[in-house]
Structure 1
Amino acid sequence: MSYRLFPLILVLLLAACSTQPSVSNAPVILPDSFSETGQQPVSDTWWKSFDDQNLNQLVRRALDENLSLQAAYQRLLQARAVAERQEATLYPSVDASGGAERQEGPNNTDVNLFSVGLSASYEVDLWGRVQSLADADQFRASATLADYQAAAITLSGEIANTWFQLLAQRAQSDLAQRQLDTNRNVLTIIETRFGVGLSSSADVLRQRQLVAASVDRINETNAQIGVLENQLAVLVGQSPGRVQLPDGDALPTLPELPKTGIPAELVQRRPDLQQAWWLIQAADRELAAAISNRFPRFSIDVSLSSQSRGSGDLFYNWLLALAGNLVMPVVDGGERRAEVRRSQALREERVREYGQAVLTAIQEVEDALIREQEQRRRLENLATRIQLADATYRQLRNRYLNGAVSYIEVLDALQEQQDLRRTQLATRQQSLSNRVALYRALAGNIETIE
């Protein structure tokens, strides 16, 4: 056999090798269904389910003006540009050149030399290395898009939670003011009774302590309102104190439980899981490129040039050069083999991260459903306890005015009644925040860009 045929045989043998590794399946067994579901479909614009126009306006403004989300969009543009740059390597590159030179010739005569040329180079993608690298960057761009969409969902959730907290604190402030008025009225009654000898000084002091505690609660609540307003202003991309926030202190009614669907649908819908999947695809293409990099590379270089002493004759004499280059790795100390192993480990890492992300997503839905049930029962129990506390306070107050019980019993009943109403308000806000968490866990892509 002629040794001249050896390179061709080697090329044919290498062509039989696979450079397209398959992606492993994520080691996750999905459950058939979630523990609970409703009938209302989950919209991508899930915040509209609360039927709060102020919330709708805040979310839309944040999606348009939030600086962190705009930074995420710039990262998306960068990823797309990188993908376009890498894709350009699939095509030949052509460069044009031109020059003019003045040389001193014999007998002190000057000679003008003009030159023009075209050069082109192209790597023949025998093993798919260049295509794999282009695909990897395209998959990373898709992952960056999914990350941007996940950031939009996170931002909308932060807006909703902050808005509901602000409404709850405003309502707490109004409740605290009403309780302060009640405590002051009770203090007036006790001071009057003390003036005629029907109450002790200790009863007056205890009620004054309750009044002072109510004032402190109002101050603390108002401070929290200011903090939440600043936080909300920053979320919508504005400086604190320079944005007019909507008024209101009424928490919306909790919507009906949404339709949770099946976990397999969740995996296809959530952008963070889509991001993890695209990163697997990118790692898989990088592995294919690392394998291909161990094989020979073949490139073609073409140049077309002309040189003349006069510009008029420049385009009449052309020189064409065509070259083919074959570069074959021989000894590299195991560098390329090590890169293949690294790429394999990276791909398997991405697979495990994807599996963990799927498990976490299912956990988030189930946790939200458990809290939904618990808070529903708690609100029902709180309503019953408040009714009993109101009745108890009225009875003890009447008995106290008749001298049948001590004031300490009335004070305990009054404090419990007021604590329960504050707890009821806080639990309503927690229920809304938990519903936000459920919507975020089930949400798909928010169409903020094309």
Structure 2
Amino acid sequence: MILCVLFLINSCAPKLTNISPPVEEPQSFSYTGTEVIPEKWWTTFKDTTLNTLIDSALSKNMELAATWQQVLAARAIKKRQASTLWPQVEANARTSLNRPQANFTGGEDIQLGFSASYEFDLWGRLRSAKQAEAFRAQASFYDYQTTALVLSTQIATIWYQLVTAQRQLTLVNQQIETNNDIVKLIQTRFSSGQTRAVDILRQRQLLESTRNIKIGYETDVALLQNQLAVLLGEAPQNNPIPIANDSLPALPPLPETGLPLELIRKRPDVQQAQHLLLAADRDMAEAVRSQYPRLSVSATGQFRSNAYDDLFKEWAYSLAANIVAPLFYGGQIRAEIDRTEALKNQQLYTYGQTVLTSFREVEDALLQEQKQKEQLESLKRQLKLTEKVNRQLKIEFLYGASEYLDVLLSLNQEQQLRRDVISAEQTQLEIRIDLYRALAGSFEIENPATP
């Protein structure tokens, strides 16, 4: 009869289940390619400098190292909780001296003993607590992998922003040289009465404007080098990051997006949310099982004497069993069950939101890449037309058929379009990096960051 009651109570306790996200079954993504994303997604760019930078960051970045320590702490908590399933054994020793001796024969009290206790996990309450901490430890590891993934995308983005800023700086230096040559040319024509003084002033104004743009790009280069150094775990003033590349890599083919359900299994941030939900589920199970009686046993043994020579001649022990059943706690246990149930539901909706966000990030990146490609092609067509217009206006100006103002405006537009094309190429590359981040799963790190 007792065994039947125990079985029924244990059957009513919540069991561990694989909880699905509370979202509708997703359809396939809007676009897909054929290229499989490698585990280390950044190798698709075939940039040895980028590979070196990311490998260095994964071993030296301070934030990543701090996150790894969180993983170690979570694993230690898991081991601590698992210890509750084992007997707890302690040893004790005590000696005291009493004066005057007449109050205590021999004047000394020497004790040496041990104690042990053990709680039978009849309903799985302790196992539920152990499982909860195991899920939290795994969630902490997924958080570490998410941090590593984000770090790799930050390094790639900032590195190519740095390359682009250096390209812009090289281009604007060429434009400054061109504008300065034109100023000299107009001054020569002004001396022969072929142009007006205002044309010289306008060209000088364009020259100064271009020099001001150069200052902005010089600032960008320095700031990006500082950001990159900090991500690499280095002081920015010590070793400025050298810029070896003078061009952006060719955009790899569009990667295969796969099925949305595969994305749920791959992305570490989604896995983290799922494991936090499973941990909350086990917390609720522990709270439910706290309603049931607890059975524990204990044992003590002790040697005691008034002299060291007689310490091991006599000893005593005791064995005890204890059962505790909650009868009236003023609603405390019910409130704890309600609290853990609410937290579980909170984690369930957080998990669902994380899944939806992962889908949106993929869709956003796919759409942005398509539109950015169209925009870049449009900018290149505009640049070709502007070059033709500029050449024609220069010819007309030399023969007196056009005002220099038209030439100046066309020149300014051409120079701006050249800078816009470089910026658009950088944006296109950043969108692809975002797509890799949205689609990529976790990757193995040989040596966790330990600066």
Verify the 8 A CA contact 1:83 1:138 in the aligned structure 2.
yes
Residue 254 of structure 1: which of 231, 251, 254 is its match? 251
Is 2:340 the partner of 1:346?
no
1:120: which partner in 2?
116
CA drift of 1:8 comes to 8.5
Which residue in 2 is equivalent to 1:238? 234
Which of 172, 175, 178 is 1:182 aligned to?
178
Q: Structure 2 unaligned runs (5+)?
A: none
Give the Cα separation in 1 of the matches to 2:25 and 2:382. 41
What is the alpha-carbon distance in structure 1 between the residues aligned to residue 276 and residue 411 of structure 2? 59
- Cα shift at 1:23: 5.8
Q: Residue 67 of structure 1: which of 46, 62, 67 is its match?
A: 62
Whole-Å separation in 2 of the counterparts to 1:9 and 1:37: 57
Equivalences for residues 288-437 of structure 1 within 5 A = 288-437=285-434
How far 1:48 sits from its partner (Å)?
Answer: 1.2
Structure 2 distance, partners of 1:372, 1:437, is 10
CA distance, structure 2, for counterparts of residue 62 and residue 21 of structure 1: 38
Query: For structure 1, which segment, 381-390 or 63-72, has the greater mean C-alpha deviation from structure 2 after superposition?
Result: 381-390
Provide the C-alpha distance between the structure 2 equivalents of 1:40 and 1:15, rounded to a whole number of angstroms. Answer: 51
Q: CA–CA distance in 2 between the matches of 1:24 and 1:37?
A: 28
Aligned AA for 1:137? Answer: E
Separation (CA, whole Å) in 1 of partners of 2:341 and 2:19: 11
1:274 aligns with 2:271: yes
For 1:444 and 1:246, locate their aligned partners in 2 and report how far apart those are by CA, in whole Å. Answer: 30
CA-to-partner distance for each residue in 1:145-176, whole Å, 9 max, x for gaps? 00000000111111111111111000000000
The 3 A distance-change label for structure 1 pair 91 and 264 is same
The match for 1:86 is 81
The whole-number CA distance in structure 1 between the counterparts of 2:296 and 2:311 is: 29
Larger mean Cα displacement after TM superposition, 240-249 or 53-62: 240-249
- Offset, 1:268: 0.1
Which amino acid is 2:135 matched to? F
**Are 1:439 and 2:444 counterparts?**
no
349 and 313 in structure 1: CA distance in 2 versus 1, 3 angstrom threshold: same
Deviation at 1:21, TM superposition (A): 6.0
**Aligned ranges for residues 125-140 of structure 1 at < 5 Å?**
125-140=121-136
Corresponding residue number in structure 2 for 1:201: 197
**Residues 23 and 280 of structure 1 are in contact (CA less than 8 Å); yes or no, is this contact kept in structure 2?**
no
Question: 23-32 or 387-396: which moved more?
Answer: 23-32
In structure 2, what residue type is equivalent to 1:378? Q
Structure-2 separation of matches of 1:16 and 1:132: 14
Aligned residues: 445
Q: Distance in 2 between matches of 1:333 and 1:100?
A: 44
Any idea what the Cα deviations from partners look like across 1:413-443, whole Å, max 9, x if unmatched?
Answer: 1111111110000001111111110010011
1:15 and 1:75 map into 2 onto residues whose CA distance is: 34
Cα distance change, pair 115–107 in 1 and its aligned pair in 2 (3 A):
closer
Picking from 141, 161, 176, the partner of 1:145 is 141
For 2:423 and 2:345, the matched residues in 1 are separated by 45
Equivalent residues of 1:187, 1:208 under 8 A apart:
yes
Separation in structure 1 between the aligned mates of residue 280 and residue 95 of structure 2, nearest angstrom: 49
Q: Is the 8 A contact 1:30 1:263 kept in 2?
A: no
Structure 1 residues 220 and 107: CA distance shift in structure 2, 3 A: closer
Pairwise CA RMSD of aligned residues?
Answer: 1.9
How far is the alpha carbon of 1:90 from its aligned partner?
A: 0.8
The change in CA–CA distance for 1:198 and 1:93 in structure 2 (over 3 A counts) is same
Cα distance between partner residues in 1 of 2:104 and 2:415: 109
Structure-1 separation of matches of 2:9 and 2:283: 19
Taking every aligned residue pair, what percent have the same amino acid on both sides? 41
Query: Which TM-score applies when normalising by structure 2?
Result: 0.95
Q: 1:414 to 1:12 in 2, by over 3 A?
A: closer
Gaps of 5+ in 1: none
Q: State whether residues 97 and 116 of structure 1, in contact with CA within 8 Å, keep that contact through their aligned partners in structure 2.
A: yes
Q: 1:9 to 1:327 in 2, by over 3 A?
A: farther
Mark the CA change 1:11 to 1:49 in structure 2 (over 3 Å): closer, same or farther.
closer
Which of these residues, 216, 234, 244, is aligned with residue 220 of structure 1? 216
Report the CA distance shift for 1:185/1:18 in structure 2 as closer, same or farther (over 3 A).
Answer: same
For 1:154 and 1:294, the matched residues in 2 are separated by: 44
Cα distance, 1:253–1:98 mapped onto 2, change above 3 Å: same
Maintained 8 Å contact 2:299/2:317? yes
State the Cα distance separating 1:89 from its structure 2 match: 0.7
1:93-112 per-position Cα deviation (integer Å, ceiling 9, x unaligned)? 10011222334544997343
User: SS in structure 1 opposite 2:314?
Assistant: coil
Asked whether the 8 Å contact 1:21–1:287 carries over to 2, the reply is no
The one-letter code of the counterpart of 2:151 is L
Give secondary structure in 1 for the equivalent of 2:333. Answer: helix
Q: What is the alpha-carbon distance in structure 2 between the residues aligned to residue 334 and residue 152 of structure 1?
A: 45
Query: What's the offset of the Cα at 1:22?
Result: 4.4
Q: Secondary structure at the match of 1:349?
A: helix
Q: More displaced, 96-105 or 218-227?
A: 96-105
